[in-house]
């Protein structure tokens, strides 16, 4: 890579920016990651990701390095003030259709160490820590970034620079407020002694006086999130003695070491503009969610996965620039669906919207919750949802076979009946033909970001796939 030029400049090196860089580099583009801080943040922030995100990590070759740093999560339970179970959101512990478990707990500094450490093995990635972007100039065929290390040029720029995104301010449009705005105390602990009674489930304490959340982390790490009342921590700092007072019903200083206590304002918002010409937003720059679904970082990784293959296809001349317009139309409604669900759960935790949150509750016993799986904007389910990742006849996972390309999954009988000229045309478009049984459909066309693009019952239907990519 030339010193100051790249295909894509990424502002911010959190998990979203780092993952985007790997996705772009593996698809042949050069990426420059510009991060204003000298090192990754050393304290935990995000603590959960799901099977779809682990599948992305698999796609960049880092799942096996990340897996030992995770812990499987059995799910979440919502309890009333007397400790009775209101809502049960248990997660399956077996490997699911995407080839991974449904829910993982993790320690963000460890994840970021893996993502950043792998930059050294990728010559298409340039990483510039302790460098700040101060201005953005959009030119005819490129963008120039003024940085504290000198000018940097790129064809596209992606802002992965968080809730107070500099690039979002440059692009304009602001954010649409979806109505959730609450101050919570987030407390991270490291246990001094076993506390198996705390359990492995995440717990939502639905208390009208003081809603709270418990999260089992990896190793001896535990997190509590506690609603702050009006007037508490007015300067944004909670004294340690007061923190322990709020924790007293669960843990004491004899049980654990206080690693961090931080006051956060949980918000819900979606950027009105995700693209402005060659400028893009991803992650918290584009959307903010309350944490009750554990989908904040997940949404950002989905952004990266959606955007990377489109940039690669445009850069390679396989698609027109207009393909990039679909980034916002697909991702914004999808992110919004998760945020709105998190807001509804927040209403349950605060007991202000219990009736709405429990609309499907049985007459007896707790309600049961299933993970939501919205389709991307512009799609009707099952299209626009993650396609399954089968284990192929040779024991290989599908994604390891096809890489960052389109996959055409075919039942064996249809694969044998497919005219050779059609098979050649599909291959020429960049699709990898994969016979596999059983499948839900005779033919399934899967995008490079693993989303199901189309299905067909026969060879005639497969021929129509040629118009789709």
DSSP code of residue 275? E
Residue intervals in the chain for CATH 3.50.50.60: 5-70+102-176+269-349
Element (H, E) at 113: helix 108-117
* Overall pTM surpassing 0.85 (yes/no): yes
Residue intervals in the chain for CATH 3.40.30.120: 398-467
Q: Which residues pair with 433 in a beta bridge?
A: 408
| Domain range 398-467, CATH class | alpha beta
Q: What is the pLDDT of residue 354?
A: 53
State the Cα angle at 422 between 419 and 426, rounded to 5°: 140
Contact between 223 and 243 under an 8 Å Cβ cutoff? The reply is: no
DSSP code of residue 63? H
pLDDT per residue over 217-233, tens digit each? 999 999 999 999 999 99
DSSP code of residue 31? E
DSSP string for residues in 282-318 = -GGGTEE--GGGS-HHHHHHHHHHHHHHHHHHHHTTS
Q: What is the pLDDT of residue 381?
A: 94
Q: How far apart are CA 101 and CA 454, in angstroms?
A: 25
Q: What is the pLDDT of residue 360?
A: 47
Q: For the structural domain made of 5-70+102-176+269-349, what CATH number should be given?
A: 3.50.50.60
Tokens 């067909």: give the residue.
456
Q: What is the pLDDT of residue 365?
A: 63
Q: How far apart are CA 445 and CA 432, in angstroms?
A: 10
- Phi and psi at residue 184, to the nearest 5°: -130, 150
- Start-to-end CA distance of the chain, whole Å, equals 29
Closest CA to 339 of 107, 176, 229, 111: 176
Pairing of strands 443-446, 452-456: antiparallel
403: helix, coil or strand?
A: coil
Report residue 461 as tokens.
């239907």
DSSP code of residue 250? T
Contact between 49 and 298 under an 8 Å Cβ cutoff? The reply is: yes
Which residue positions in the chain have pLDDT lower than 70? 1-4, 351-365
Q: At what angle do helices 15-26 and 108-117 cross, to 10 degrees?
A: 30
Closest CA to 206 of 84, 353, 351: 351
């Amino acid at each position: 890579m030339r010193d100051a030029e790249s295909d894509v400049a990424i502002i911010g090196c959190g998990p979203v920016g780092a993952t985007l860089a790997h996705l772009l580099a593996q698809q042949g583009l050069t990426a420059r990651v510009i991060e204003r801080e000298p090192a990754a943040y050393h304290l935990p922030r995000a603590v959960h990701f799901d099977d779809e995100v682990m599948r992305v990590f698999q796609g960049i070759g880092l799942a096996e390095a990340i897996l030992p740093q995770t812990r499987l999560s059995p799910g979440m339970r919502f309890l009333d003030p007397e400790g009775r179970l209101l809502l049960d959101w248990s997660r399956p512990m077996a490997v699911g259709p995407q080839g991974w478990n449904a829910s993982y707990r993790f320690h963000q500094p460890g994840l970021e160490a893996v993502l950043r450490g792998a930059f050294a093995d990728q010559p298409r990635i340039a990483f510039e820590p302790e460098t700040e972007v101060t201005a953005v100039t959009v030119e005819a065929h490129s963008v120039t970034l003024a940085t504290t290390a000198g000018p940097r040029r790129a064809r596209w720029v992606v802002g992965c620079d968080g809730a107070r995104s500099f690039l979002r301010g440059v692009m304009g449009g602001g954010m649409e407020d979806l109505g959730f705005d609450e101050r919570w105390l987030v407390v991270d602990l490291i246990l001094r002694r076993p506390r198996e009674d705390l359990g492995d489930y995440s717990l939502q304490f639905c208390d009208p006086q003081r809603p709270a959340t418990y999260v089992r982390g990896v190793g001896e790490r535990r997190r509590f999130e506690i609603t702050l009342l009006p007037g508490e921590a007015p300067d944004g700092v909670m004294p340690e003695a007061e923190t322990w007072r709020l924790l007293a019903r669960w843990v004491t200083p004899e049980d654990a070491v206080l690693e961090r206590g931080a006051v956060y304002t949980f918000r819900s918002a979606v950027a009105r503009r995700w693209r402005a010409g060659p400028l893009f937003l991803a992650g918290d720059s584009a959307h903010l969610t309350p944490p009750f679904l554990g989908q904040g970082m997940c949404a950002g990784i989905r952004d990266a996965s959606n955007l990377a293959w489109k940039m690669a296809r445009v850069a390679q001349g396989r698609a027109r620039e207009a393909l990039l317009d679909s980034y916002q139309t697909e991702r914004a409604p999808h992110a919004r669906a998760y945020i709105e669900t998190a807001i509804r759960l927040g209403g349950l935790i605060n007991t202000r919207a219990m009736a709405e949150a429990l609309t499907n509750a049985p007459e007896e016993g707790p309600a049961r919750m299933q993970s939501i799986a919205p389709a991307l904007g512009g799609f009707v389910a099952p299209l626009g949802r993650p396609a399954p990742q089968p284990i192929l006849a040779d024991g290989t996972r599908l994604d390891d076979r096809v890489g960052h390309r389109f996959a055409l999954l075919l039942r064996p009988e249809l694969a044998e009946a497919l005219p050779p000229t059609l098979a050649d045309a599909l291959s020429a478009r960049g699709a990898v033909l994969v016979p596999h049984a059983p499948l839900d459909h005779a033919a399934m066309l899967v995008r490079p970001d693993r989303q199901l693009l189309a299905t067909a019952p026969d060879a005639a239907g497969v021929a129509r796939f040629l118009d789709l990519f």
